[in-house]
Structure 1
Amino acid sequence: MSDAGSAPQGARRLCLVGASGMVGQAVIAGSLGRSDLRVIGVARREVPLPQGARLEILVGDTADWPPLIAAARAQVLVCALGTTRKAAGSDEAFRAVDYDLVLEVAKAARASGIEHMILVSSVGADRASRNLYLRTKGDIEDAVHKLGFRRLDILRPGLLRGHRAESRPLESMAQVLNPVADAIVLRGRFSKFRSISVRRLADVIFALSAEKTRGRFIHEHEAMMRALRRAGD
């Protein structure tokens, strides 16, 4: 376990699963200096922390994650787990992460008393899709919804802009071109496909973590921007 300090009494506690990924790292970086939040990460291995980070990383095999999630004593679960078919190596290995592991994490959170979950999904998620990635995202959205969280926020971002540890040449090229497409092409009903920086997505997560209204909420690009405006970001 890594621990670089403690947060003030009454800070909102977020259990972050997927701390080593691009979104997770943005959540960690975005939490720096915020006295209203405490992020507790759950990961398979030690996670690099930015200078000045004051948070805990609870480390263990995935089989040990349920007690680690309970130990986080969090009010909100933030699930940023995800891989790609190419990185996983097979359809089954991909689904084992993006569906099976995410569902086990969500079940562990419910068992530990967490009633608010924020799930990072993808634009175009659809159980009826012929695309494995989008179909799996749709399947896990539905499965998590059935667990009965008091509040479930599903984020469906378009292309994520930011630095990834692994190389994705086509995605890197798209990150350069997408701001132009966002401004010129992706308007109206196509605005949901707009790109978003991972730092901005982290701000969306922080904003939604403070929401109290019960229910299931799906946030595509415009809805995420509204969440930021409500929070004054």
Structure 2
Amino acid sequence: MGATGLTGNRLLQKLIDDDRYEHIKLFSRTKIEDLPEKVSQYIGDLFNLKDFKVDFKADEVYCCIGTTAKKTPNKKVYRQIDYGIPVTAAQISKENGIPTFFVISAMGANKNSKVFYNKTKGEMEQDVLRFNIKNSFILRPSLIGGKRNESRLLEKIGLVVFKIIQPFFIGKLKKYKIINADSIAQAMLNLANSTSNADVIITSNDIERISKN
């Protein structure tokens, strides 16, 4: 889920190129053209994800879905996307016996936050973990770098500023460094195919480290 977004698209390409993955199931609102035969697309309303339950079976689930306040100003719809879809996906994964679940959250996620965005992400994390899926990974990236298909002016400005001040991010500040979408995608693949234990909640600097393993 979320394959049309920056990180989700990079992950999809890596899964396609990886010979360890013989069949990929893609759940989306819109069809992506020119994908290879190893990708099966299930198109529909992700707000009603349970409609896909019969086909929602796999070894691993990657939830890269998310939105922005600019793109989705309605807070009710925003919550349906950033909270509702990941939590429902985790629920179905548990019910269908899927052992590995990945979801991309955000660095400031906090269920007790007064900031709507951070609170929504924090509550999503909390409720995803309640399903006790055997291998649950919540990734909290910092500002994500990479070429997007859509224009995000404020994000572009933020990336420029962050690039200037990044040399000062050392020690505990490392988690605030810009992280490339490719690194996030690679870290998920590395975790999925590793036998070593990892923290359930993975901060940005650890995502970067794991991507290089």
2:18 is aligned with what amino acid?
R
Moved over 6 A (4+): none
What is the TM-score with the length of structure 1 in the denominator? 0.81
Deviation digits for residues 159-181 of structure 1 (CA, Å, limit 9, x no counterpart): 11122233210112223343333
Instruction: Name the residue aligned to 2:28.
Output: 43
Contact in 1 for aligned 2:10/2:182 (Cα 8 Å):
yes
1:70 positional shift: 4.3
Contact in 1 for aligned 2:49/2:85 (Cα 8 Å):
no
In the alignment, structure 1 residue 21 sits paired with structure 2 residue 5: yes
1:141 positional shift: 0.3
Distance, in Å, in 2 between the alignment partners of 1:212 and 1:122 is 25
Contact in 1 for aligned 2:110/2:119 (Cα 8 Å):
yes
Q: Which consecutive residues of structure 1, in runs of 5 or more, have no partner in the other structure?
A: 1-16
- How many percent of aligned residue pairs carry the same amino acid? 23
The residue matched to 1:98 in structure 2 has which SS?
A: helix
Instruction: Name the residue aligned to 2:176.
Output: 193
Return closer, same or farther for 1:161/1:215 CA change in 2, 3 Å cut-off. Answer: closer
Return closer, same or farther for 1:104/1:73 CA change in 2, 3 Å cut-off. Answer: closer
In the alignment, structure 1 residue 104 sits paired with structure 2 residue 77: no
Aligned residues: 212
Distance, in Å, in 2 between the alignment partners of 1:228 and 1:198 is 11
Query: Superposition pairs for residues 180-219 of structure 1, below 5 Å?
Result: 180-182=164-166, 184-212=167-195, 217-219=200-202
Instruction: Name the residue aligned to 1:83.
Output: 67
Contact in 2 for aligned 1:152/1:216 (Cα 8 Å):
no
Contact in 2 for aligned 1:42/1:69 (Cα 8 Å):
no
What is the TM-score with the length of structure 2 in the denominator? 0.88
Instruction: Name the residue aligned to 2:124.
Output: 140
1:187 is aligned with what amino acid?
I
Distance, in Å, in 2 between the alignment partners of 1:69 and 1:211 is 27
Contact in 2 for aligned 1:145/1:216 (Cα 8 Å):
no
Distance, in Å, in 2 between the alignment partners of 1:126 and 1:132 is 10
Instruction: Name the residue aligned to 2:105.
Output: 121
Return closer, same or farther for 1:36/1:99 CA change in 2, 3 Å cut-off. Answer: same
Instruction: Name the residue aligned to 1:62.
Output: 46
Return closer, same or farther for 1:212/1:71 CA change in 2, 3 Å cut-off. Answer: farther
Distance, in Å, in 2 between the alignment partners of 1:112 and 1:146 is 16
Return closer, same or farther for 1:190/1:49 CA change in 2, 3 Å cut-off. Answer: farther
Return closer, same or farther for 1:49/1:158 CA change in 2, 3 Å cut-off. Answer: farther
Distance, in Å, in 2 between the alignment partners of 1:213 and 1:142 is 23
The residue matched to 2:10 in structure 1 has which SS?
A: helix
Q: Which consecutive residues of structure 2, in runs of 5 or more, have no partner in the other structure?
A: none
